[in-house]
Amino acid sequence: MKLFQTAIAAALLGATALAAPAHADVKIGLIGGVTGPIAAMAPPMIASAQLAIDQVNANGGVLDGQKLIGVVGDSACNPQNGTDAATKAVNIEGVVAIVGPHCSGAVLAVANSVTVPAGIAIITPSGTSPEITSLDDKDTVFRTVPSDDYQGRALARTLLDRGTKKVAVAYLNNDYGKGLAEAFKSEFEAKGGEIAGYAAHEGEKASYRSNLAELASGGADTLVILDYGDGSGLTLLRQALENGFFENFVGADGMKSDATFKELGAENLTTFVASSPVGEKSEALEMFNKAFSEAGGDPSAIFVTTSYDAAFLMALAVEKAGGDKTKVAAAMREISSGSGETILPGEWAKAKELIAAGKAIDYKGAAGDHNFDEKGDVPGAYALFKVGANGFEMIGEMK
């Protein structure tokens, strides 16, 4: 469990507790939702990113043997906190790039206010809002997870294929919830489904019973909750169950949190399913799963594959750029373009040697190949999960 202890301690104590580096060490930011609505998801994500950093340092480090240091900052899944954490990382810690933030609103705020003006590259493992695609980011913003435009539409098609023709939709009033809800609604209605209730809600309220009653008045027996399972999404789900407003419940990746079944009990969630990105079966995924398990991690935890890939990609880009922060974004495309010698998770020494020799490399990650389009987006794979006795179990892939 050493990896988790290191990551959690860094997250809770702050960046200065993590790093007392030598002058020549190279720093990258790890900005995540350590507190706030995804607090239960964040430690495994940070731990998997730290695994990539540990592998780099165990196999020669970056550049001329310097250590790669992950400076943890807490965005609290909030635009202002994210901006504050990124400002500290860039202006005080002197990071050359950032992995994160975890949440879409924080990604948008950090890019617009901090990293784009500073020319710093960022790569988010879990910021899924379609709004990220349209950022005027000077080609400095990337992600290892697909846009929610894809997830929302795939979830709509999957529910229709499973025979669910009428739903109500409750979505969190932020960039994540709104983008996902709009994509879901558009596809569900276009394919013949009926949206019997559709409403935004604010986060962290004590009661959503009036919201739920209004959504239930349309006659749907299925509620789609597009929110976070560590925050208001959990409250919505609990109160819907307690008051019998709906019979069936559907969430997206934000609801696939251990908090849902730990707080509510698997026996009460037999009609709850959630979508989530998954790594495509590959040698790269197997290599990550083995390494993360040996480090004490859970390879099935949400966003750990995308978090690992984001950190490993960033390390490769920093190496390719010679540590020059102004060249990291361009290097990100060069090391994952679909051409060059294949680099798999953990193959740092091989990559370092090829980069030094001026040869092209192509990283193929645990979550996919990550061949970025012109907007820094990637394709991906999603699956639907149910709650079993010991946690989430995959039902099948989504298309």
Instruction: Quote the domain boundaries for residue 208.
Output: 149-270
pTM: 0.88
Residues 116, 34: one domain? yes
> What are the residue ranges of helices labelled H in the chain?
2-13, 15-18, 42-58, 79-88, 104-110, 116-118, 148-161, 175-190, 209-216, 232-243, 258-264, 283-294, 304-320, 328-334, 348-356
Domain count, the chain: 2
Q: Residue 163's pLDDT is what?
A: 98
Do 186 and 141 lie in one domain? The reply is: no
Q: Are residues 134 and 15 in the same domain?
A: yes
If asked whether residues 285 and 352 sit together in one domain, one would say yes
Token pair for 307: 């978090």
Map residue 32 onto helix, strand or coil: strand
Decide if 374 is inside a domain: no
The answer to whether residue 383 is domain-embedded is no
How crowded is the C-beta side of 214, counted as CA atoms within 13 Å? Answer: 9
Which residues on adjacent β-strands are paired with residue 248?
Answer: 222
Best CA proximity match to 101, nearest among 252, 256, 307: 307
66/117 same-domain check: yes
Please check whether residues 300 and 249 belong to one and the same domain. Answer: no
Q: Round to whole Å and give the CA distance between 319 and 324.
A: 9
Beta partners for residue 26, in sequence order: 68
Q: Are residues 130 and 106 in the same domain?
A: yes
Question: Does residue 387 belong to any structural domain of this protein?
Answer: no
Crossing angle (nearest 10°) for helices 2-13 and 42-58: 110
Are 157 and 74 found together in one domain? Answer: no
Clarify whether residues 124 and 158 are in a common domain: no
Contact assessment for residue 31 and residue 88, using Cβ atoms and an 8 Å cutoff:
no
- Residue 384 within a domain: no
In a domain, 176, yes or no: yes
Is residue 108 domain-resident? yes
Torsion of CA 177, 178, 181, 182, to 10 degrees: -160
Beta bridge partners of 66: 62
Q: How many CA atoms lie within 13 A of 1 on its CB side?
A: 4
Instruction: Identify whether residues 39 and 157 lie together within a single domain.
Output: no
Helix or strand or coil: residue 87?
A: helix
Residue 389 has what pLDDT?
86
Provide the pLDDT for residue 4: 46
CATH number at residue 197: 3.40.50.2300
Rounded Cα gap, residues 197 and 187, in angstroms: 15
Q: Which pLDDT score is estimated for 379?
A: 85
pLDDT of residue 277: 86
Q: Evaluate whether residue 370 is within a structural domain.
A: no
pLDDT tens-digit readout, 294-320: 999 999 999 999 999 999 999 999 999
Q: Could you give phi then psi for residue 87, rounded to 5 degrees?
A: -60, -45
Give one word for 147, left, alpha or beta, with left for phi > 0 and alpha for psi -120 to 50: beta
139 burial via Cβ count (<10 Å: 0-12, 13-18, 19+):
middle
Evaluate whether 63 touches 133 at the Cβ level (below 8 Å): no
- Taking only the tens of pLDDT, the chain with its 399 residues reads 445 444 444 444 344 334 444 447 999 999 999 999 999 999 999 999 999 999 999 999 999 999 999 999 999 999 999 999 999 999 999 999 999 999 999 999 999 999 999 999 999 999 999 999 999 999 999 999 999 999 999 999 999 999 999 999 999 999 999 999 999 999 999 999 999 999 999 999 999 999 999 999 999 999 999 999 999 999 999 999 999 999 999 999 999 998 898 999 999 999 999 999 887 789 999 999 999 999 999 999 999 999 999 999 999 999 999 999 999 999 999 999 899 999 999 999 999 999 999 999 999 999 999 999 999 999 878 899 999 988 899 999 998
Residues 6+ apart with CB under 8 A from 81: 36, 74, 75, 106
Same-domain check for residues 196 and 299: no
* Tokens describing residue 319: 């190496």
Please indicate, yes or no, whether residues 169 and 139 belong to a single structural domain of this protein. Answer: no
Q: What is the pLDDT of residue 1?
A: 42
Q: Does any domain span residue 396?
A: no
Tokens at 72, concatenated: 């943890």
